[in-house]
Amino acid sequence: MNLHVRYEGDDDPDKCTARKLARFDLAELHRSDRETPYGIVLNPHAERALSPADRAETDRLVALDCSWETAERALFEMPGVHRALPFLVAANPVSYGTPFELNTVEAFAGALTILGEREHAEAILSKFTWGETFLDLNAEPLRRYADCEDSADVVAVQQEYLDAGEDSP
């Protein structure tokens, strides 16, 4: 899978995982919607969950790298097949342990693993000291999502994790 980032540049450049991926030629940054190629757009507001069935759509994954405040407006304009990542927990130092608040490299790694490209996920995460922790924290859900047939199956598995979280004190 080719990794592309619609890059807004409004986050702290020292903590920007998209910029680091680009420095290592692991992702391509795009400054406008026109430059951003069509692909599977990782969109937390999408109506459908990413599943292994989406692998047939394209060989491109597209993430939006911007502040959470501008994300919904910017994602609306991006061309492609919009898919939401299911329940995963962040491992990065800024959002450690927080569900659904992944940074760009975590989103790519989660998507790649679900789409059957675990080695690619490991390669991009290897550039970050906490990268392996992301895969460790999410080992079971990522394995289960990757074994799903379609979006409905992924949502059903995700619901088990959400229900389990409600039972916690």
pLDDT tens, 20-73? 999 999 999 998 888 999 999 998 889 999 999 999 888 999 998 876 555 555
pLDDT at 33: 81
Identify the domain containing residue 52 by its residue range: 2-166
Mean pLDDT for the stretch of residues 94-118:
96
- DSSP 3-state assignment of 29? strand
Out of 10-19, 43-52, 87-96, 139-148, least confident range: 10-19
H runs (alpha helix) in the chain:
17-23, 68-76, 104-114, 118-125, 131-137, 139-146, 151-166
Q: Which of 115, 105, 148 is nearest to 1 (CA)?
A: 115
Q: Which residues are CB-contacts of 111 (< 8 A; sequence separation ≥ 6)?
A: 40, 42, 50, 61, 85
pLDDT (tens digit per residue) in 119-148? 999 999 999 999 999 999 999 999 999 999
Name which of 94-98, 131-135, 161-165 the model is least confident about. 161-165
Query: How much is the pLDDT for 137?
Result: 97
pLDDT of 169: 44
**Is it the case that residue 110 has pLDDT exceeding 80?**
yes
Domains: count for the chain: 1
